[in-house]
Chain A
């Protein structure tokens, strides 16, 4: 594996924002997740839970509701009173429509998917018709006294249930009038609480309405008579979310204590056909409030203030008991947030609204293997660059020489020139960016920092030559006609001749930068690309996919390399394929052309192509070999995958020079320490 001096960086003070809503789409098996900063992410559950798309947040766009409608169309609504539709191809906001009812708290698409219902702050429920390219206001339902915090359609589409403060109303969709008003008890364990907020409702096809509220109750109501049928007191705190399965035989609720309860419709006795709702399983995967839950056919999905997205497969629904049936916990974004200027030993950290530039510390001490060396010079915080305007940063990059920094928001592109003067940095913005550079999905500098590659949201790739303090537009690769898909990953070869770009689903395109034309397209693969890199000298393109497959493609020969063919023939180790976080970064050793360095959130791996591949019987995660072991055994157990799990959760790892690595870690405890306070719980013995 080789010995390295490792910079162990723990000053990347990144805190993901909490999850506010999740929405599951059965048709495409995708999950939309919205966060408290307005970011919306889309996870592809059939592609190994990979976060394949994301829409950057906006300060004023606090998303409160998210839903899929008409198949594949995604809508969100929030406290700024607007309903937003997202363009899933171009990865931007298609349009925003003001509902004119104040902040929107809830939204639900009709079972047929052609209508959209929103519940507003002023107590109005508004019905929108979904037209092919927009949504159109249709009518208002009877106005209620207080805000509508939750909504649910009857599966037939004739009635809706709306949860408000202290009561639930049932509306007739045709007339738009409230037919029942069901008052919810404010009493909480015998003590009168302030107000009972109905956080969620679900309408079943037999007319039952299930409500969850701030007093910790799950209640079953008969919507025909407007009476309470059953009451489960499940928590000492708020029950904040509910989601029901399509078959209506189970549902899931999430509480502020971080517990997720599974309810199932179970026969009373083994022989009778009479069934009743029973609380079956509690899950405690969260430490903070569970603000949103979803129910896919095979799994319970929950997310909350503690920023984890948890996917818990249901054992009785899983047919094959393989690794897919294991619990998934997604905390960090599946894209890079850390960029490195190797020559100057600088790290650029990307946050939602600012960038931070740090210079790594250094040491003069030496030690033997495994020692922690004292720092002779601490890491320097050189720059704190705040964005202008309310939009979040989509992507950023620092040039390898460290003298250029670029970042982009949804509407503007910024390029800065940095000048270093001993310990101080001066910053100069490059003004007059051309009009076509409005927003970028990925930015990349060439190895010699003379060129800038920008993947714009319209699907085109721009090449810009950087001069001292100015720039010149060289060329634009237009997307192939008929495709609107935008590129979101770029890689450039160290000699600057080749540029590889990959979109969200189609194959990887390789462009010749010298002759400015498309060179070839790597055959499309079923799973999205998570990382790309081009090796120096050989110009081999290494591609990592979300199902943990790694391909090596020779650009000059336009074919897969021999090594890649062998490993595909033999197959990867089964433990390698079972890792659950995608590979986010690939790099190469400048002196050892046979090595590929890659990492995901929990391991760092060096693939040595000269060694034999492991088969399923060999140990994949080999512990560091003891020094007294004989050479023979070591050679027998040695295989191509050298894996280190010392650093985790690992956000970034790269080679600074031949003997130095930099690893950026983000311990989970540091994140929890910056989250909002959790509910107080009494633990025995504390």
Chain B
């Protein structure tokens, strides 16, 4: 039920929101939020553990403590907590920094091939128009470009593969949504099954139902499901195996 709520509230809006590029951005934000939340929750958990330790001490025996020692201990504790918080913060900062760098790099990666592709398409169009003499020049230019921009040609290839993949040969789905939908469908099916055939619905069995007519017929027939094939299945199997072995043994002895 907890899973149902946020989705439902978002549901009507998402129909329109799916069109623009809002959702991915919001997801990123959500991830950041989660990252921020982690250390705080961790620090909240620590005092709890200490409480438990205290409880255990209480159980054993009350120990005498001087004020000074207690104060020192408390200060030490405070210092430790502050340090951990600071450490966490720096770690988080570093992580965020790395992430940001990654994003920038990704953006660069995304941007570069496009420009090159544009150039390339422009070049190829001009190729067709230009005379073969000029072609060499263009090629030389291209080579220069490649030298300048390093391994861009590889990236262009990658990009191409992506565009081919965008064909409608498959459908991209978020597995998370599908799981949620399936589980809801299962729940709905279970609900209807329980309503119609669950306990307290006063259902009979098919066999009994068919026997109603049979009971009042002048000529009595066997029940529709006269045999319950589920009974003694293990025993039947054992008997079958035994019979086969017995047959084999008998064949062997007769041959001798």
Known: A81-B184, A100-B15. A678 touches B204 (CB 8 A): yes
**In the assembled complex, B256 has its CB within 8 A of some CB on chain A:** no
What 8 A-B pairs are tightest by C-beta distance, nearest first?
Answer: A100-B11, A680-B204, A103-B188, A677-B203, A686-B215, A122-B8, A673-B224, A79-B188
A143 and B197 alpha carbons, distance in the complex (Å)? 29
List A contacts of B212 (CB < 8 A): 681, 683, 686
**Measured CA separation A237–B204 after assembly (Å):** 13
Encode A645-686 as 1/0 by CB contact (under 8 A) with B.
Answer: 000000000000000000000000100111111111101011
Contact (A121, B188) CB under 8 Å given A101-B8, A238-B196, A686-B215:
yes
Interface centre among A126, A685, A686 (most CB of B within 10 A): A686
* Docked CA distance A103–B224 (Å): 37
Which residues of A414-458 have CB atoms within 8 Å of chain B's CB atoms? none
Task: Name the residue of chain A whose CB is nearest to the CB of B13.
Answer: A100
B239 at the A interface (CB under 8 A): no
- Between A and B, 24 residue pairs with Cβ closer than 8 Å are A60-B185, A79-B185, A79-B189, A80-B181, A80-B185, A100-B7, A102-B4, A103-B184, A103-B185, A103-B188, A124-B11, A126-B12, A147-B188, A194-B200, A256-B196, A287-B209, A672-B206, A673-B206, A677-B205, A678-B203, A678-B209, A680-B204, A683-B216, A685-B215
Max chain A C-beta neighbours (<10 A), residue from B188, B189, B195, B201? B188
Q: Is A613 an interface residue (CB 8 A)?
A: no
Cβ-defined contact, A122 with B4, below 8 A: yes
- The smallest beta-carbon distance between B242 and chain A, in angstroms, is 25
Residue from the list B14, B15, B184 in contact with A121, Cβ < 8 A: B184
* Distance in angstroms between the alpha carbons of A686 and B187 in the assembled complex: 39
Cβ of A673: which chain B residues have Cβ within 8 Å of it?
A: 206-207, 210, 224-225
Residue of B nearest to A197 (CB): B195
Tell me if A602 is interfacial: C-beta within 8 Å of chain B.
no
Q: Is chain A's interface secondary structure helix, strand, loop, or mixed overall?
A: loop
The reply on A219 being an interface residue by CB < 8 A is no
Interface check A289, CB cutoff 8 A: yes
Q: How far, in angstroms, from A278 to B184 measured CA to CA in the complex?
A: 41
Q: Mark contacts of A209-238 with chain B using CB atoms, 8 A cut-off: 1 yes-contact digit, 0 otherwise.
A: 000001000000000000000000000111
List A contacts of B215 (CB < 8 A). 685-686
Given contacts A685-B216, A686-B215, are A679 and B11 in contact (CB under 8 A)?
Answer: no
| A122-B4, A238-B196, A686-B215 known; A677 vs B206 contact (CB < 8 Å) | yes
B209 cross-chain contacts in A, Cβ below 8 A: 287, 672, 677-678
Given A236-B202, A677-B209, A686-B212, verify A140-B12 contact (CB < 8 Å): yes
Assembly CA distance A316 to B184 (angstroms): 46
Set of chain A residues within 8 Å of B15, measured between Cβ atoms: 98, 100, 137
Does A62 interact with chain B (Cβ within 8 Å)?
yes
Bound complex: CA A680 to CA B207 (Å): 12
How far apart are A213's CB and chain B's nearest CB, in angstroms? 11
Residue of B nearest to A288 (CB): B209
Q: Is A354 an interface residue (CB 8 A)?
A: no
Q: How far is the CA of A389 from the CA of B227 in the complex (A)?
A: 35
Given A137-B12, A140-B12, decide whether A193 and B200 contact each other with a Cβ distance below 8 A. yes
CA distance A480 to B201 in the complex (A): 56
Chain B residues lying within 8 Å of A62, measured Cβ to Cβ, are 185, 189
Closest to B194 in A: A194
Residues of B within 8 A of A669 (CB): 210, 224
Within 8 A of A (CB), among B1-26: 4, 7-8, 11-12, 14-15
Distance A678 CA – B205 CA, assembled complex (angstroms): 7
Question: Nearest chain A CB to B34's CB is how many angstroms away?
Answer: 24
* Nearest CB of A to B208, in Å: 8
Chain A residues contacting B224 (CB-CB under 8 Å) are 669, 672-673
Nearest CB in chain B to that of A122: its residue = B8
The chain A residue with its CB closest to the CB of B12 is A140
Size of the B side of the interface (Cβ < 8 Å), in residues, is: 33
Interface string of A326-367 (1 = CB under 8 A from B): 000000000000000000000000000000000000000000
Residues of B with C-beta under 8 A to A60: 185
**Distance to closest chain A CB from B204 (angstroms):** 4
How far is A679 from B209 in the complex, measured between Cα atoms in Å? 9
Bound Cα distance from A60 to B197, whole angstroms? 21
B203 near A101 (CB under 8 angstroms)? no
Q: Interface of chain B, helix or strand or loop or mixed?
A: helix
Contact A680 B203 (CB under 8 A): yes
Known contacts A79-B188, A79-B189, A683-B216; can you find 16 more A-B pairs with CB under 8 A?
A98-B15, A103-B188, A121-B187, A122-B8, A126-B12, A147-B188, A237-B201, A238-B195, A669-B210, A669-B224, A672-B210, A673-B207, A673-B224, A676-B196, A680-B208, A681-B204
0 or 1 for each of A94-111: is its CB under 8 Å from B? (1 = yes): 000010111101000000
Interface string of A122-150 (1 = CB under 8 A from B): 10101000000000010110010001000
Contacts of B225 in A (CB 8 A): 673
Q: Shortest beta-carbon distance, B220 to chain A, in Å? A: 12
Q: Mark B213-249, 1 if CB is under 8 A from A, else 0.
A: 0011000000011000000000000000000000000
Chain A residue numbers with a CB within 8 Å of B201 are: 237-238, 679
Measured between C-beta atoms, what is the minimum distance from A122 to chain B in Å?
5
Task: List residues of chain A with CB within 8 A of the CB of B207.
Answer: 673
Chain B residue contacts of A289, Cβ below 8 A:
196
B205 touches A101 (CB 8 A): no
B13 to chain A: closest CB distance in Å? 9
Residue of A nearest to B184 (CB): A102
Q: Contact check: which of A121, A677, A685 meets B197 at CB < 8 Å?
A: A677
Known A-B contacts A60-B185, A81-B184, A100-B11; the reply to A680 vs B206 at CB < 8 A is no
Q: How far is the CB of B18 from chain A (nearest CB, A)?
A: 10
Which A residue's beta carbon lies closest to that of B8? A122
Residues of A within 8 A of B197 (CB): 676-677
Q: What's the Cα separation between A278 and B146 when bound, in Å? A: 89
What B residues does A194 contact at CB under 8 A?
200
Q: How far is the CA of A214 from the CA of B200 in the complex (A)?
A: 12
Residues of B within 8 A of A105 (CB): 188
Chain B residues near A675 (CB-CB < 8 A): 206
- Complex Cα gap A98–B15 (Å): 9
Inter-chain contacts of B208 with A (CB < 8 A): 680
Bound CA span A102–B203, Å: 29
**Cα–Cα, bound, A662→B201 (Å):** 44
- Among B8, B187, B204, contact of A679 (Cβ-Cβ < 8 Å): B204
Cα distance A122–B11 in the bound complex, in angstroms:
11
| Complex Cα gap A100–B191 (Å) | 19
A318 to chain B, nearest CB (A): 31
- Complex contacts, B181 vs chain A, CB 8 Å: 80-81
Determine how close the nearest CB of chain A comes to the CB of B191; give it in whole angstroms: 8
Instruction: Kindly list chain B residues whose C-beta atoms are within 8 Å of the C-beta of A686.
Output: 212, 215-216
Q: What CA separation (Å) do A214 and B202 show in the bound complex? A: 12
Given A80-B181, A673-B210, A677-B209, A102:B195 Cβ within 8 A = no
Q: What separation, in Å, do the CA atoms of A237 and B201 have in the docked complex?
A: 7
A525 → chain B closest CB, angstroms: 41
Question: In the bound complex, how far is the Cα of B203 from the Cα of A143, in angstroms?
Answer: 34
Contact of B14 among A81, A100, A126, A197 (CB under 8 A): A100
A298 to chain B, nearest CB (A): 31
Asked whether A680 and B202 contact (CB < 8 A) given A100-B12, A121-B188, the answer is yes
What residues on A are CB-neighbors of B191 within 8 Å? 147
CA–CA, A666 to B203, complex, Å? 26
List the B side residues contacting A80 at CB < 8 Å. 181, 185
Q: Which residue of B lies closest to A126 (CB)?
A: B12
Q: Report B213 CB to chain A, min CB distance, Å.
A: 9
Closest to A81 in B: B181
A427 to B7, CA, bound (A): 47
Distance, CA A185 to CA B200, complexed state (A): 17
| A680 / chain B contacts, CB cutoff of 8 Å | 202-204, 208
Interface centre among A60, A214, A675, A678 (most CB of B within 10 A): A678
Q: How far is the CA of A561 from the CA of B181 in the complex (A)?
A: 59
Provide the bound-state CA to CA distance between A193 and B201, in Å.
Answer: 10
Closest to B4 in A: A122
Q: Are B196 and A678 in contact (CB under 8 A)?
A: no
